[in-house]
Chain A
Amino acid sequence: MNRDTLLSTDRLTKTFGALTACDGISIRLGEGEIVALLGENGAGKSTLVKMLFGALQPDSGGIAWKGENVALTEPRLARRLGIGMVHQHFSLFEAFTVAENIALVLGEEKMSGLAARARTLSEDYGLPLDPGALVADLSVGERQRIEIVRCLLQNPTLVIMDEPTSVLTPQEADRLFVTLRKLKAEGRTVLYISHKLEEVRALCDRAVVMRAGRVVAEVDPKAETAASLAAAMVGGEVPAVSQRAAPAADAPVALAINHLDHPSDRPFGVSLADVSLTVLAGEVVGIAGMAGNGQGELFECLSGEVALRGDAGEVSILGTVAAPLGVDARRRLGAAFVPEERLGHATAPSLDLTDNIILARHQRRDRTVGPLGLLHKGAARRAMRRIVEAMDVRGAADDPPARALSGGNLQKYVVGRELDWSPRLLVINQPTWGVDAGAAANIRQAILDLAASGAGVLVISQDLDELFLLADRIAVISEGRLSTPAPVASLTREAVGLLMGGAEGHHHAA
C-alpha cells in the first residue's frame, strides 16, 4: 500500500434517472499493482470504469492522475494520459486482418511498421499473434489477444480489463495471468474486473468490493476465502447448492442423440458433425465448450426451431422420434427449452411478463388459451405470479415488459417459466450467463431439484465451475464435434480445458 498513487477518485457519483449507479466512490490505484474490482452485475463496476476511461462523465466528484485533477471528457484523453482498456465485448471487424484492426484504432501509423511492432510486442508478452490473419478465422482467445495487444501498443501505465477470462479456457487464462504479472513487473498498474473469485485470489494484490453503487470493502484477497469474498459481494452468505444422488443406471432415456449431422446455413456458423449423446431421466449432463463452437446450433436442433434434414441422424425425446417435430410438438412431449439469449429469443423484450408466459406455454393447452384461440390472460397472470414467487424474481410487481428486468431476474423468470410445468426433459443453454451470484445459485439449485424429481437435464455452459457443480457427466463441444461424455469424478478442469481448446490441435498453434 506504500506505492506511489497513480490514480485516485474522490467521491465519484453517477446517477441514471432514479438509479444511483455509483455513489461517492473513492478508490486509489498504486503504481505497479494488480487491483481487483469485484461486484455482482449491477453493482456499478462498469459505470465506474467507464468514467475512468472517459466514456461517461461523473455527476460529481473528481479523478486525479498522478496527483493532478483531470477531466476525462472522452476516451481519447484517457488514452493520451496512459489509460488503456480491454473491453469484455470485442470491437473487431471479422473481415479485416489483425493488423488492419489494430491500425483502425491507432490511427496515423504506417501499416507495415505497425504489423512488425505488433508481432514483436505480442511475442514479448507471450501472446503470439499473426498480424496477417483474418479475424474471422481466429478463436475467441486469439481475438482477445488482439484487443490486449492493441491496448499495449499504446504503452499504457494503467490497463483496465473487463472480465477478460470469461471467454478463455483455463489454459488460455493461465497464459493471460503470466502476461498480467509481466505488466506488473514493468511497473504498470492493472485494474482487473472479475467475478471469478479464485482467479482474483491467485492474481490480485488488493480487491475493491462494490455493492449497489458503493465501495463496501477493500481487502487483501489472499487473506480471504472465495466464500468470504462472495459474501462481501452479495452482502450475505451465498446459499450453497445442495447435492443429490446420482441417477440409477437403468433409468429411462430422456434424450437420445444418435450421429446428428447438421450443416450450418449461416455465415460464420458452425456445422454439427456426428454428435451422439444420451441423457437419462434424473441425470444432469453438461456440455462444456468455448462460445461459438456449435452450442447454439445444437440447442436449436434439440428445440426443433430448425428443421433437420432427413438423413441428419436421430433425435429422440422421452422415447419419441423427434426429428420431424417442431418446437410445439416437442414441448407437448414434455421437453422444456431455455435458450442462451434471454431477450429476443426466450422472451420478446417489449411484451409484459404475462404475455411472455403465453409465448412458451400456449402449445401445451394449459388453460392460457381457450376455445377458438381466445387468450386467458388471467391464467397466464396467475402463472406469472407463481413463477415470480417461486424464483424470487425482483422488480416484477406491476408486470413490466421483459426488457425492464435486470439480466439475473429475467433469467430466473425464464428458467422458472419452464420449471413451473414440471417438464421431464430440460435443455438449457448458458443457464447463468451474465447473472449475479445470488441469482445463479437460485437457478442452479432449481436445475438440481428438477433432476432430483426425475427429469433429464442437458446443461450447455461455458462455465466449468458450474458444470462440475451440476453435472453427473460432462462432454465437450469443439467446432461442432462432441467428445464422449465422461463421469465428473473422472475429470479434471485441465483435461476439460484441453478438449475445449480443440484437442485435435488446430487453430491453437501457440
Chain B
Amino acid sequence: MRLELTRRPRVSPLGEALAPVVALLVTLVIGAILFAVLGQPPRRALHAYFVEPLSEIWSLHELAIKAAPLIIIAVGLSVCFRASVWNIGAEGQFIAGAIAASAIPVFAPDASGPWVLPAMIVLGMAGGAAWAAIPAVLKTRFGANEILVSLMLVYVAQLLLDYLVRGPWRNPEGYNFPETRSFSAAATLPEVIATGDFGGRANWGIVIALVVAVATFVLVLRTLKGFEISLTGLSPRAARFAGFDARATTVFVFLFSGALAGLAGMVEVSGAIGQLRPSISPGYGFTAIIVAFLARLNPLAVIVAGAILALTYLGGEGAQITLGMSDRFTRVFQGVLLFSVLASDTLVRYRVRVVHGSAGKAAA
C-alpha cells in the first residue's frame, strides 16, 4: 500500500482561502493535546497563550513591537519566495542591518538632528542587503546553494555581533558588560502613542511595517517587476521567453529581502532595545519564514500572519509566568503551525489516494 498525490483539476477558491484558517485550527488542537499530555488544563493554557496577551493595552503594545520586525522581514521573504529563491538567512541579514544602523550611535553618540534616524534606516537596509548579496552572488556566479549559504551566514553574523559588543564596540563606561552605549534620543524610534489611555511602548516600527507591506503589495501584484518575480518562480523557461533575466531577478529578490530584514534589525535595536547586545533577536528571521508561508506569500496577508506569530511569542512569555511552562513551547507552536500550513496548502491542491497492491505504471 502506498499514498499517491494527484493534482486536483481545479483548485477550489474557497478551499484556497480557508486553508490557512484550517491550519491554525489544527495547530490549536495539537497544542491542546500537548498541553493535556503535559498535565495542564488545555482550555486554561490556550487562554493564557492566545487570549490574555490581547486583553490589555500594554500587551497590545508589546504585540505591535513583536509584530513589526516579523512583518517587515516576512514581506521581504514573501517576494523572495515568490521567485522560488530560498533565502533562509534573514536572521543574519537582520543582525547585519542592526549592526550597520548602530554604527551612527556607536561612533557618534552625540549626533543629533532629524537626519539621524533616516540615516540609520538607510544604513540598516544597506547592511542587510550587503549580507544578502553574498549568497546572491555565490548562487548566480558559481551555482552555490542559496539555502545553505544564507543559513550559514546567520552564524557568521551572530558571531560578528558577539565580537563587536564584547570588543571594539563595547560601551567604554559600561563596566565591561557586553553591550554598546545606549542610543541617544535622536537615534531612538519614538513611540507612536506615548501617553493617554491608549499610550504605551509601541514605536514607529509598526507603522513602517504597515507602509512596507502595502507598498510591496503594489509592487508584487500591480507592477511588471512583480510579474517578473512571480513568473521567474512559477516557470523559469517562460520567464526567459518573456525576456526576463533569472540571475538579475535572483539578485534583486535577495537584495530586496535582505534590505527589509536589515530594516527590521534597525527597528528592533533603535526602537525596542536601544543598544546592541550579544543577542538581539528571538529568532525573528526564522519565524518570519512561517509568517510568509502562513500569508501565502501575499504581502498584505503578512500583516495578519505577523500578528499571529507575534502572539505566540507573547503567549509563550505569559505562559511561562502564569503556568510555569517552558518558553520552548513557543517554538513547538511555531513548528506545528508551519507544518500545518504546508500540509493544508498541499491538500488543497492535491488529492491523496491510497493505492493498494503493486499497481502497474500508467500507460503514456
Contact = CB atoms under 8 A, between A and B. Distances in A.
B231 to A, nearest CB: 6
A313 interface: no
B360 A347 contact: no
A76 B243 contact: no
Contacts of A269: none
Interface string A319-342: 000000011100100000101010
Contacts of B238: 344-348, 359
Majority-rule SS of A interface residues: mixed
B37 interface: no
Nearest to A52: B363
Contact of A359 (B222, B223, B231, B361): B231
Contacts of B361: 55, 75, 91
A83 to B, nearest CB: 11
A87 interface: yes
Contacts of B359: 74
Given A74-B359, A87-B363, A373-B223, A359 B241 contact: yes
A88 interface: yes
A350 B234 contact: yes
Interface string B225-247: 10100010011011111110000
B362 interface: yes
B9 A17 contact: yes
Interface string A351-366: 1000100111011000
Given A74-B360, A87-B363, A87-B364, A375 B223 contact: yes
A492 B48 CA distance: 85
B186 to A, nearest CB: 34
A128 interface: no
| Interface size classification for chain A | 35 or more
A331 B227 contact: no
A331 B243 contact: yes
A88 B364 CA distance: 7
B235 A349 contact: yes
A156 B171 CA distance: 87
Interface string B207-228: 0000000000000001111010
Contacts of B243: 326-328, 331, 362-363
Interface in B332-364: 359-364
The winner among B242, B243, B363 for most chain A CB atoms within 10 A is B363
A374 interface: yes
Contact of A373 (B10, B225, B239, B240): B225
A296 to B, nearest CB: 11
A55 B363 contact: yes
A369 B243 CA distance: 15
Nearest to A55: B363
A17 B12 CA distance: 14
Interface string A429-464: 000000000000000000000000000000000000
A481 to B, nearest CB: 26
Interface of A: 16-17, 46, 49-50, 53-56, 74-76, 85, 87-89, 91, 162, 303, 305, 326-328, 331, 337, 339, 341, 344-351, 355, 358-360, 362-363, 369, 372-375, 404
Given A49-B363, A348-B239, A355-B227, 14 more contacts: A50-B362, A55-B361, A76-B360, A162-B364, A305-B241, A326-B243, A327-B243, A344-B237, A348-B231, A348-B234, A349-B235, A351-B234, A360-B241, A373-B223
Sorted nearest first, the 8 A-B pairs with minimum C-beta distance are A328-B243, A55-B363, A348-B235, A75-B360, A87-B364, A373-B224, A89-B364, A74-B360
